[in-house]
Amino acid sequence: MSGLSVQSLCFTYGAKQALDGVSFDVAPGEFCALLGPNGAGKSTLMSLLTRLFTTQQGRIRGAGHDLARTPRKALAQIGVVFQQTTLDLDLSVYRNLSYFAALHGISGREAHDRIMAALERLDMADRAHERARDLNGGHRRRTEIARCLIHRPSVLLLDEPTVGLDAAARRAITDHVHDLTSTEGLTVLWATHLSDEVRDSDRLIVLHQGRILADGNCGALRGPTPLPDYFLTLTGASA
Ligand SMILES: Nc1ncnc2c1ncn2[C@@H]1O[C@H](COP(=O)(O)OP(=O)(O)OP(=O)(O)O)[C@@H](O)[C@H]1O
């Protein structure tokens, strides 16, 4: 299938088991929130999905391509926003995106058109020539999301993309990314430890201590229980 497919993924750091038999599929156009407390294994999973780490056990397919067997094809279909910002703060928004476009072999008019379309998509076109250092945290994040659209991936991976942002910026970014699933059909895996970023209509996967504790429609899973309470009860944490 296209979208994202993870089968029986296990990963250890020495004796520490960070992921223990993780399996799930995200359908094309689906927004899937991967909700887990600190240490759940979210970043480890993201590192495997982006091939920063090599899979020890299990299988990953991105847009139908096996990440271990055909990594270039799989990675060409994947856009990533890492937890830590990876913008060059001394370059303008536009230059950050054009550098990324060049890395993907996209140049000239084609690069310009894609950059402006991506910036417009994130309501960032009027800031194209501002220096990244001069942007607030929310606008830096939007720039990174625009950048990961340049090579036209079908799957977006976002690892706690709202860390350190205020409530309004977090809302703007979650709205933008939800919009990308409904209007562009992008498949999204959104890792977070913040339950208020998850909507009832989202697919929800709860990860804890390297294992999936729940997987399904968020509203159906939580029922009448507020999501923070459902999440805390499931993970055995105290408020
Ligand atoms: N390099 C490492 N060496 C040893 N253990 C590690 C290493 N990196 C992560 N771990 C452990 O693996 C487990 C999963 O960590 P991971 O960073 O993937 O969780 P996370 O859900 O992303 O947490 P956070 O929300 O704090 O970023 C944790 O118990 C963590 O302590």
Indicate if 146 and 160 belong to the same structural domain.
Answer: no
| Percentages of the chain per state (helix, strand, coil), in multiples of 5 | 40, 25, 35
Closest CA to 68 of 156, 129, 7, 154: 7
pLDDT on residue 237: 62
Contact present, 22 and 33 (Cβ < 8 Å): no
Measured distance CA(85)–CA(102) in Å, rounded: 19
pLDDT on residue 165: 86
Indicate if 163 and 239 belong to the same structural domain.
Answer: yes
CA 234 from chain centre, in angstroms, equals: 23
- Give a yes or no: residue 8 inside a domain: yes
Indicate if 98 and 4 belong to the same structural domain.
Answer: no
pLDDT on residue 80: 95
SS3 8: strand
Residue that has been written with the tokens 């001069």 in this structure = 134
Indicate if 162 and 238 belong to the same structural domain.
Answer: yes
pLDDT band at 164 (very low <50, low <70, confident <90, very high): confident
Instruction: Give the mutation target among 10, 11, 12, 16 for probing the ligand 1 site: most ligand atoms within 8 A of CB.
Output: 16
- Give a yes or no: residue 109 inside a domain: yes
Cα(52) to centroid(ligand 1), Å: 14
pLDDT on residue 88: 96
Indicate if 186 and 237 belong to the same structural domain.
Answer: yes
1 pLDDT higher than 70: no
Which domain CATH number covers 188?
Answer: 3.40.50.300
Indicate if 161 and 224 belong to the same structural domain.
Answer: yes
pLDDT on residue 239: 42
Indicate if 141 and 161 belong to the same structural domain.
Answer: no
Atom of ligand 1 nearest to the CA of 41: 18
163 pLDDT higher than 90: no
Indicate if 159 and 238 belong to the same structural domain.
Answer: yes
pLDDT on residue 115: 97
Task: Determine the structural domain holding residue 102 and report its residue range.
Answer: 88-152
52 pLDDT higher than 80: yes
Indicate if 52 and 63 belong to the same structural domain.
Answer: yes
Indicate if 192 and 233 belong to the same structural domain.
Answer: yes
From 152, 175, 208, the end of a domain falls on 152
From 152, 168, 198, the end of a domain falls on 152
pLDDT for 57-100, tens place per residue? 999 999 999 999 999 999 999 999 998 889 999 999 999 999 99
Count of domains observed in the chain: 2
- Give a yes or no: residue 82 inside a domain: no
pLDDT on residue 238: 43
pLDDT on residue 50: 94
pLDDT on residue 2: 79
Query: Cβ < 6 Å from ligand 1: which residues?
Result: 13, 16, 18, 36, 38-44, 193
Indicate if 175 and 61 belong to the same structural domain.
Answer: yes
Atom of ligand 1 nearest to the CA of 193: 25
Cα(41) to centroid(ligand 1), Å: 6
Q: What secondary structure letter does DSSP report for 2?
A: -
pLDDT for 107-146, tens place per residue? 999 999 999 999 999 999 999 999 999 999 999 999 999 9
Indicate if 57 and 160 belong to the same structural domain.
Answer: yes
Beta-carbon contacts of residue 119 (< 8 Å; ≥ 6 apart): 93, 94, 97, 125, 127, 128, 143, 146
pLDDT for 4-22, tens place per residue? 999 999 999 999 999 999 9
pLDDT for 185-231, tens place per residue? 999 999 999 999 999 999 999 999 999 999 999 999 999 999 999 99
pLDDT band at 181 (very low <50, low <70, confident <90, very high): very high
Q: What is the mean pLDDT of the chain?
A: 94
